[in-house]
Amino acid sequence: MTNTDALGATLTEAVSAGKLLESSRANILELLAGSSNPAFRASVDELVAAGQWEELNDRFFKKLAFGTSGLRGRTIGKIVTAAERGNAREGERPDQPCTGTNALNFYNVTRATRGLCAFVLQYYVQNGLSGKPSLVFSHDTRLFSREFAEFSAKVAAESGVDAWLFESFRPTPQLSYAVRQLNATGGVMITASHNPPHDNGYKVYFKDGDPIIDPVATGILNEVNAVQSDSFEPVPEGEQGKVTIIGKDLDEAYFERVKGVMLNPGLLEKARGLKIVYTPIHGTGGVHVPPLLKALGFNYLTVPEQDIPDGRFPTVSSPNPENASALKMGMELADREQADIVIATDPDCDRMGVAVRNAKGELQLITGNQIGSLMAWYRTKTMFELGWLNEANRGNATLVKTFVTTRLQDAVAHKYGISVVNTLTGFKYIGGKLGKYERGLPEEIQARYRGLSDEESRAVRLEHSKFFVFGGEESYGYLGADWLRDKDGNGAVVMFAELAAYAASLGLTVPALLDEVYLEYGYFHEHSENLVFEGASGAAKMRKLMDSFAA
């Protein structure tokens, strides 16, 4: 009996004994047959020998599947095997990512990249396009993010696709911008957003710079599912793509566009006393946010301990700016320095949370709905005051939000006579609407649209299509411009800092300004709770819960 036969027999016995799921058994054998990585076999053998069936079920009960725009799963197991740890010391990142079909590792990154490349190559053929398709690869500060991004770019080039690779970590919204500016066929962001440090993800964008939606998402999924191995034969050298490192020019271009999100820089003359504390929570926000606040003239300071890029996120229990615990160090610094607001962005800088000082002098958190409503109200009002919007053109201006986001924003839109569009949950649907509005422009304008200034693009959209005033979702994601197609934490910081400056110019705190908005539009109550279901047992609980609703 071979070692593989012996392992198969042991796994079958475990299934019969109710210790191992049948799907886990099948996926273990498929992974080992489809990969030559010795760490995989060593890790499985170690977990089997130790009787760690729950860990094996969590790692193998399913194949990591494309969900909201891509893959997301554990990169560090609950139990780290000796083969995974390698030479790493306790507390350090393991040498190898988590073994498993339900984990984000080089096996699944290979499958995802090969499937994505197969899709974009077919897209070029089907649409009669010449040359090679191209993909942009970026990553956050998480464990293995750089390695996954570099490896993905290599796999893409060996598959016959040109690859653009950022020189270091960058925020997710900059990846969306890069896809558009480089006229790429798509892009990949290695990130798990605000998930715990043991997770990572593979988020896919298409040619407009927006996260994938159907039918593109289904097409890519089908190609990924067809890949059963992490071994493949590269195309002939003459047919391979090239890997190009993205330089500082694109950083500077993105930076200037984000600066332009501020509507009324003159406000700061009336709000000189406003003081801001900012924290990137060890993530990518540190690349652009502090320079942006400085360039725009805001008085700010950062949390030194959290300025350090670190995928372990050692100073927080969770790097989620929705949670008070993630803002704790920033709030403590704000109290010492008597700052007015605390702003935090998540590791890939696509979401933003805030704490604001109230009339009692205390810092309080405000919700994603409240943040978004204040910014939607301020930006709509200010665009009318600046003369950008008026009675003649307001019918072509719109707010775009998800349908689970507060209807206070609908009330704001109705008051000003602009439209409001409610989409399905997920910012990708907001990005999809912006793509639709761009395609509604005359073809001649579409051809040069990505090179237009803010003023020029606003003029053509108001005349020929829909002008995007603001977009957001209750889960702390916001966008104030359509030159990128995903939520932007950098732009959100600029927008909220301006909103706070506006309140200060009136002698108001942000909560007091929110009360003024409630007095005008009515109070909209909200309540939400988050439940976490992890691994095979968590999936079973979710199925049971969902089945109870259908009973």
pLDDT tens profile 321-350: 999 999 999 999 999 999 999 999 999 999
pLDDT band, residue 547 (cuts 50/70/90) = low
pLDDT at position 542, please? Answer: 74
pLDDT digits (tens, 9 = 90+) for 456-494: 999 999 999 999 999 999 999 999 999 999 999 999 999
Cis peptide before 215 (omega within 30 of 0): yes
Q: What percent of the chain has pLDDT over 90?
A: 89
pLDDT digits (tens, 9 = 90+) for 437-455: 999 999 999 999 999 999 9
Helix (H, G, I), strand (E, B) or coil at 439: helix
Mean pLDDT of 403-430: 95
Is it the case that residue 176 has pLDDT exceeding 60? yes
pLDDT at position 546, please? Answer: 60
pLDDT at position 549, please? Answer: 45
Say if residues 187 and 179 touch (Cβ distance below 8 Å). Answer: yes
363 bridge partner residues: 357
pLDDT digits (tens, 9 = 90+) for 62-105: 998 876 678 999 999 999 999 999 999 988 999 999 999 999 99
pLDDT at position 533, please? Answer: 77
- Residue 246 CB partners (closer than 8 Å, separation 6+): 136, 164, 165, 166, 167, 178, 182
Mean pLDDT of 191-219: 95
More confident residue, 536 or 46: 46
Domains 3-246 and 369-487 share a fold: yes
Mean pLDDT of 31-59: 95
Distances (CA, A) of 247 to 66, 253, 338: 30, 11, 39
Alpha-carbon gap, residue 450 to 182, rounded angstroms: 10
Is it the case that residue 118 has pLDDT exceeding 50? yes
DSSP label at 136?
E
pLDDT at position 537, please? Answer: 75
Mean pLDDT of 505-511: 97
Q: What percent of the chain has pLDDT over 70?
A: 97
Is it the case that residue 548 has pLDDT exceeding 70? no
Instruction: Give me the architecture of the 3-246 domain, per CATH.
Output: 3-Layer(aba) Sandwich (3.40)
Overall residue count recorded for the chain in this entry:
551
Is 3.20.20.70 the CATH number for 369-487?
no
**Domain ranges within the chain, ordered by starting residue:** 3-246, 369-487
pLDDT at position 68, please? Answer: 60
Distance linking the first and last C-alpha atoms of the chain: 48
Backbone angles phi, psi at 172, to 5 degrees: -55, -45
Is it the case that residue 550 has pLDDT exceeding 50? no
* Residue 193 known to be catalytic: yes
The average confidence (pLDDT) of the chain is 94
Is it the case that residue 2 has pLDDT exceeding 70? no
pLDDT at position 523, please? Answer: 87
- For the chain, give percent helix, strand, coil, nearest 5: 50, 15, 35
pLDDT digits (tens, 9 = 90+) for 362-397: 999 999 999 999 999 999 999 999 999 999 999 999
Is it the case that residue 6 has pLDDT exceeding 60? yes
Is it the case that residue 38 has pLDDT exceeding 80? yes
Distances (CA, A) of 351 to 177, 474, 476: 16, 11, 5
More confident residue, 10 or 527: 10
Is it the case that residue 551 has pLDDT exceeding 70? no
pLDDT at position 531, please? Answer: 74
Catalytic-role residue among 193, 373, 457, 475: 193
pLDDT digits (tens, 9 = 90+) for 130-171: 999 999 999 999 999 999 999 999 999 999 999 999 999 999
Alpha-carbon gap, residue 280 to 293, rounded angstroms: 13
